[in-house]
A and B are shown apart, each in its own frame.
Chain A
Amino acid sequence: MNETEQPVEVNTVIPFGPQHPVLPEPIQLRFTIHQDKVVGVVPNIGYIHRGIEKACELNDYKKNVSLCERVCGICNFMHAMAYCEAVEELTDTEVPDRAKYLRVVWSELSRLQSHLLWLGLFADSIGFESLFMHIWRDREIVLSLNEKTSGHRIHLSTCAIGGVNKDMDKGLISEYKSGMELLERRIRELAPVFYKDRSVKDRTVGKGVLPKKRAMLLGAVGPTARGSGIPQDMRRLGYEAYSNLDFEPVVHDEGDVHARLLVRLEEVFQSIRLIKECLEKMPEGPVMNKNRRFPNGATVVRIEQPRGELFYNVMGNGTKRLRRCRIRTPTLANIPALVDILVGYDVSDIAPIVMSVDPCISCTER
């Protein structure tokens, strides 16, 4: 090539997914790349849409509990809980106090296992395999505790309309307590790696920056919002026993991948603390109240999942079938932000940035 001849510059389109090593679930992002920089992104979802919202209108409303549970693998308990809360409100069913505490315990265990899963997968996405293994070993503590109460490691199926269908005796409670202490010790040991290690910081600090104002405008939720300095946490609405517990949302201001990572890491400790507090404060008593009415009216329930605000809008019409059950999962809310933060970064940053909003496609494809 002689000097005056310029290399031709064109944009390249790279499809990322629906099958990709860092994505265990099918979503496609189509990147327009210019000289190794992302200049455009189109999200492409819907590969496994299951029509759960529609199915909820066809089923008996009681059976929907197990259906809603299957919206998401990780947050299954929380989906069931949100649905139950809505139905309880529409049928005027009072939930016993002990059940409220148990629901918080299981919710926080779900958050724990979800965040630990994510911390591991994230380490994997930046090629830090040993960290991934360590985190996942410690996540086993949570899973075996789950198995002790519900009989299942992941899908708990303990939530029911009017309360919960499993209880814990004194022995189990103390086992849970020591489990939490062990977990806390283990994660404390690993935490400095996330704060200080160069191989983590190089891949995360200043990457995928989402300024606070944009985060608000794009409707980001959960750790994605909290990592951009927005103290948004649905648990502060005080549902179940949260109004009796003492906590503040974990917030970091930087808005980059590292900030979102630290939010989740610090929430692990927060969840451990909340579980311990619940086990201390839990009153004695029944765990379930029967309801005998059909849901009537409409209500909105919003709870905080590991990935952010989960939104259920349930409408009943006084029969055993619902009129409508609208589910908006946190990942759906974070897709606009995800698309936004990728633009302007290198191709090699795509994996950690995509991971940083913790996309859950199962949720997205209700």
Chain B
Amino acid sequence: MTAQRIVSDGGVFLEKVRELRERDARFITITVIDCGDRIEAVYHFDTGSELVNLRLEVPKEEGLPSITSVYSAAFVAENEVQDQYKIKVSGLSLDLKGRMLKSDAPVLAVSIPSALEGGTQPTGRKLGRCRESCPAMVNVPKYVRQIAAGDIEGAYNTILERAPFPAILGRVCFAACERGCRQYRDERPVRCRLLKRYAADSLVQLKQRRERAKPTGKRVAVVGGGPAGLTAAYYLGLLGHEVTVFEKRGVCGGAMLAYIPRFRLPQNVLDAEIAARIEEAGIRVEAREVESLENLFRQGFDAVFVAIGAQKGLKLMIEGEDSPGVYDVMEILSEINVYGRRPEVGKIVAVIGGGDGAVDAARVCRRLGAESVTVFYRRSREEMPASLDQVEAAMAEGVDFMCLASPVRIIPGKPLKVVFQKMQLAQEKDEKGRRKPVPLPGSEFTIEADTVIRAIGQRVDLPKGFNLEVDERGFVATKDKAGATSMKGVWAGGDAVVRPKSVIEGIKEGRAAASAIDKYLGGSGIPEPVVDESELVPRPHDASEILGIEPATPKCLEPTVRIKGFDEVEGGFERDDATREASRCWRCDWNE
């Protein structure tokens, strides 16, 4: 057994522990050895692939520092150490005060943690479930708290530390934070997403004052101006690098610009926020389709971030799929968003697929005048990847859903005829743990449609000249969490890696890559914001203070009005609503 040895330096030690947590290591336990006047403690961690041991040696009277602020689960082992060796572990989140082994102290004296009684010292968990659930780890508890206190600008800047597009995310994010909220179980999560939107919408101007670091003289090229690319560009720009974004469309925004319908994300919101970030970080945007990465290096760039998205629709691989009247979801959506056209879709539309793209396409078709729009999906409602909110909104707008149906062939003509087959779910599961659909014999049926829209997934359209290794499905292969690729000095992220994802995951990967690129160029990465314990707010003594507050709901357009045009459907919070909603937070980041 080998161990990294640290003698009596709590700071260095905790830093190492934090690094392990960043690597998603699991804390196992502590082995303590009594060496007379010293204590030797070996901390064991499992990183998934190996066992990591950290050895800390301290004088006995000094005691050990607690790691519960990083690994809250360590409280069991640390209380035990305290009792077995009669030493002090300082900063324990749940200190049983020498009563774990029940040797000296009376058992009954253990009571509820001091925090629940409105205690004084904040220790232990400082993340909060919402923040842990967020792919980009946005400091949700902090901005919610700032909004409750009326500090809108502070809230906006808290979000900017980890995600540069609060106004956009406030509209289209899938809001994993809300699903992480402990009140989600009671179906009344704090609406973190809408609070983000409120913070952004109530600012007088989106552009914030930012100190850019001294110019480093290094040049970075970002290929693709979607959320992933822009995020990387933004943080690299702030770190003092000279960043150029190459965007083949000439206008930044990526899938958010080209595909997300305007009734969910208005053009002015998108443009204003992107423009503000570009200005703050001094990013140059060049309208050019990049064809070779080597050329970029030849032009004097020191590093490249590839975020070209996954913008090619997958085909159904059935007969008659190329008949006139069959469209790809990307085609229809970008037709409207980018070219401002209003394509003719006829009266009856069939959409094939079950993701957000399919639901968006269906909602768009209702707005284009289609009277009957049906989404056909080959598994059951439970497996549908589209978010529930979107499905409900679509249903309110009169979109029909038909599950467990898969297309077999399309017969050209006017109207088109589509032959479907009914499916059933087998017991066996695929690699994602979803039950596989298998055809139900003899269950074919035919429908008629003026337009058929195919929305079954996307793949990467990687230019030949990139010379990057790809995985079996054609996505760019990466070597680590930051997205390093097979080529030196090239990182990749966003939809182009692993699978199509979401805006917030693109942002996370863009930021991680920016940090790695900065280190590669000689910097020390994006500085992590420090937690200021003094700003944490204790949980009220009586939970009913929080549970008694009525949740706020935003105003939405009536379905009959919605389908008349492309106006934004969901409304934002008013000031009073936002403050009230923000004060419903349980403050999980305080202490557990």
Residues of B within 8 A of A343 (CB): 182
- The residue in chain B whose Cβ has the minimal distance to the Cβ of A10 is B542
Smallest distance from the beta carbon of A220 to chain B beta carbons, Å?
8
- Assuming the contacts A299-B1, A332-B77, asked whether A47 and B112 have C-beta atoms less than 8 A apart, the reply is no
- Assuming the contacts A300-B51, A344-B185, asked whether A44 and B110 have C-beta atoms less than 8 A apart, the reply is yes
15 A-B contacts (beta carbon < 8 Å): A10-B542, A35-B544, A39-B543, A42-B113, A44-B96, A216-B24, A217-B71, A219-B71, A297-B1, A300-B53, A311-B29, A333-B29, A336-B75, A340-B592, A344-B182
Residues of B within 8 A of A193 (CB): none
B72 near A: Cβ within 8 Å? Answer: yes
Determine the distance from Cα of A344 to Cα of B71 in the docked complex, in whole angstroms. 22
B94 near A: Cβ within 8 Å? Answer: yes
Residues of B within 8 A of A213 (CB): 132-133
Q: Interface residues of B: mostly helix, strand, loop or mixed? A: mixed
- Assuming the contacts A42-B110, A42-B111, A44-B107, asked whether A211 and B44 have C-beta atoms less than 8 A apart, the reply is no
A166 near B: Cβ within 8 Å? Answer: no
Chain A residues 200 to 218 lying within 8 A of chain B, measured CB to CB, are: 209, 211, 213-214, 216-218
Smallest distance from the beta carbon of A106 to chain B beta carbons, Å?
25
B524 near A: Cβ within 8 Å? Answer: no
- The residue in chain B whose Cβ has the minimal distance to the Cβ of A343 is B182
Q: How many residue-residue contacts, CB under 8 A, span A and B?
A: 111
B31 near A: Cβ within 8 Å? Answer: yes
Residues of A within 8 A of B132 (CB): 213-214, 217
Q: Report whether B73 and A218 are in contact in the complex, using a CB–CB cutoff of 8 Å.
A: yes
B549 near A: Cβ within 8 Å? Answer: no
Most chain A CB neighbours (cut-off 10 Å) among B24, B42, B182: B42
- The residue in chain A whose Cβ has the minimal distance to the Cβ of B28 is A311
Interface string of B12-29 (1 = CB under 8 A from A): 000000000100101111
- The residue in chain B whose Cβ has the minimal distance to the Cβ of A47 is B102
A298 near B: Cβ within 8 Å? Answer: yes
- The residue in chain B whose Cβ has the minimal distance to the Cβ of A328 is B29
Smallest distance from the beta carbon of B93 to chain A beta carbons, Å?
10
Most chain B CB neighbours (cut-off 10 Å) among A214, A217, A251: A217
Residues of A within 8 A of B31 (CB): 313, 324, 326
Q: Report whether B101 and A46 are in contact in the complex, using a CB–CB cutoff of 8 Å.
A: yes
- The residue in chain A whose Cβ has the minimal distance to the Cβ of B42 is A313
Q: Report whether A298 and B26 are in contact in the complex, using a CB–CB cutoff of 8 Å.
A: no
Most chain B CB neighbours (cut-off 10 Å) among A13, A49, A309: A49
Determine the distance from Cα of A109 to Cα of B113 in the docked complex, in whole angstroms. 41
A348 near B: Cβ within 8 Å? Answer: no
- Assuming the contacts A45-B100, A46-B101, A344-B185, asked whether A13 and B27 have C-beta atoms less than 8 A apart, the reply is no
Q: Report whether B110 and A219 are in contact in the complex, using a CB–CB cutoff of 8 Å.
A: no
A335 near B: Cβ within 8 Å? Answer: yes
B99 near A: Cβ within 8 Å? Answer: yes
- The residue in chain A whose Cβ has the minimal distance to the Cβ of B182 is A344
A149 near B: Cβ within 8 Å? Answer: no
Task: Give 4 nearest A-B pairs by CB, closest first.
Answer: A336-B73, A328-B29, A326-B31, A46-B102
- Assuming the contacts A45-B100, A213-B132, A216-B26, asked whether A298 and B77 have C-beta atoms less than 8 A apart, the reply is no
A40 near B: Cβ within 8 Å? Answer: yes
Smallest distance from the beta carbon of A228 to chain B beta carbons, Å?
12
Residues of B within 8 A of A43 (CB): 76
Determine the distance from Cα of A38 to Cα of B111 in the docked complex, in whole angstroms. 15
- Assuming the contacts A30-B112, A40-B113, asked whether A332 and B76 have C-beta atoms less than 8 A apart, the reply is yes
Listed in ascending order, the chain A residues whose CB lies under 8 Å from chain B are: 9-11, 13, 30, 32, 34-35, 39-40, 42-47, 49, 209, 211, 213-214, 216-219, 229, 251-253, 297-300, 302, 309, 311, 313, 315, 323-324, 326, 328, 332-333, 335-337, 340, 343-345
Determine the distance from Cα of A343 to Cα of B184 in the docked complex, in whole angstroms. 13
Q: Report whether B182 and A211 are in contact in the complex, using a CB–CB cutoff of 8 Å.
A: no
Total interface residues on B, CB under 8 Å, equals 46
B116 near A: Cβ within 8 Å? Answer: yes
Smallest distance from the beta carbon of B21 to chain A beta carbons, Å?
8
Residues of A within 8 A of B422 (CB): none
Smallest distance from the beta carbon of B308 to chain A beta carbons, Å?
29
B33 near A: Cβ within 8 Å? Answer: yes
Listed in ascending order, the chain B residues whose CB lies under 8 Å from chain A are: 1, 21, 24, 26-29, 31, 33, 42, 44, 51, 53, 71-73, 75-77, 83, 94, 96, 99-103, 107, 110-113, 116, 129, 132-133, 180, 182, 185-186, 433, 542-544, 547, 592
Q: Report whether A13 and B29 are in contact in the complex, using a CB–CB cutoff of 8 Å.
A: no
Q: Report whether A49 and B101 are in contact in the complex, using a CB–CB cutoff of 8 Å.
A: yes
Taking a contact as CB atoms closer than 8 A, the residue among A11, A42, A219, A251 that contacts B27 in the complex is: A219
| Apart from A42-B112, A44-B96, 18 more pairs, CB < 8 Å | A11-B543, A42-B111, A44-B110, A49-B101, A49-B103, A211-B133, A211-B180, A216-B24, A253-B433, A297-B1, A299-B1, A302-B51, A328-B28, A328-B29, A333-B73, A333-B76, A340-B592, A345-B185
- The residue in chain B whose Cβ has the minimal distance to the Cβ of A326 is B31
Residues of B within 8 A of A311 (CB): 28-29, 44
Determine the distance from Cα of A218 to Cα of B125 in the docked complex, in whole angstroms. 11
- The residue in chain B whose Cβ has the minimal distance to the Cβ of A253 is B433
Q: Report whether A323 and B26 are in contact in the complex, using a CB–CB cutoff of 8 Å.
A: no
Q: Report whether A9 and B544 are in contact in the complex, using a CB–CB cutoff of 8 Å.
A: yes
Smallest distance from the beta carbon of B23 to chain A beta carbons, Å?
11
Residues of B within 8 A of A251 (CB): 433
Residues of A within 8 A of B180 (CB): 211
Residues of A within 8 A of B592 (CB): 340
Residues of A within 8 A of B182 (CB): 343-344
Smallest distance from the beta carbon of A62 to chain B beta carbons, Å?
22
Residues of A within 8 A of B547 (CB): 34
- The residue in chain B whose Cβ has the minimal distance to the Cβ of A298 is B1
Residues of B within 8 A of A214 (CB): 129, 132
Determine the distance from Cα of A105 to Cα of B112 in the docked complex, in whole angstroms. 45
Q: Report whether A32 and B116 are in contact in the complex, using a CB–CB cutoff of 8 Å.
A: yes
Residues of A within 8 A of B186 (CB): 344
- Assuming the contacts A219-B27, A298-B1, A300-B44, asked whether A9 and B72 have C-beta atoms less than 8 A apart, the reply is no
- The residue in chain B whose Cβ has the minimal distance to the Cβ of A43 is B76
Determine the distance from Cα of A299 to Cα of B53 in the docked complex, in whole angstroms. 11
- The residue in chain A whose Cβ has the minimal distance to the Cβ of B180 is A211
Determine the distance from Cα of A299 to Cα of B29 in the docked complex, in whole angstroms. 14
Q: Report whether B116 and A40 are in contact in the complex, using a CB–CB cutoff of 8 Å.
A: yes
- The residue in chain A whose Cβ has the minimal distance to the Cβ of B132 is A213
Taking a contact as CB atoms closer than 8 A, the residue among A13, A46, A252, A337 that contacts B99 in the complex is: A46
Residues of B within 8 A of A340 (CB): 592
Q: Report whether A300 and B542 are in contact in the complex, using a CB–CB cutoff of 8 Å.
A: no
Q: Report whether B113 and A219 are in contact in the complex, using a CB–CB cutoff of 8 Å.
A: no
- Assuming the contacts A11-B542, A46-B99, asked whether A313 and B133 have C-beta atoms less than 8 A apart, the reply is no
- The residue in chain A whose Cβ has the minimal distance to the Cβ of B51 is A300
Residues of A within 8 A of B99 (CB): 44, 46
Smallest distance from the beta carbon of A273 to chain B beta carbons, Å?
17
Determine the distance from Cα of A229 to Cα of B68 in the docked complex, in whole angstroms. 24
- Assuming the contacts A49-B101, A217-B71, A219-B26, asked whether A323 and B33 have C-beta atoms less than 8 A apart, the reply is yes
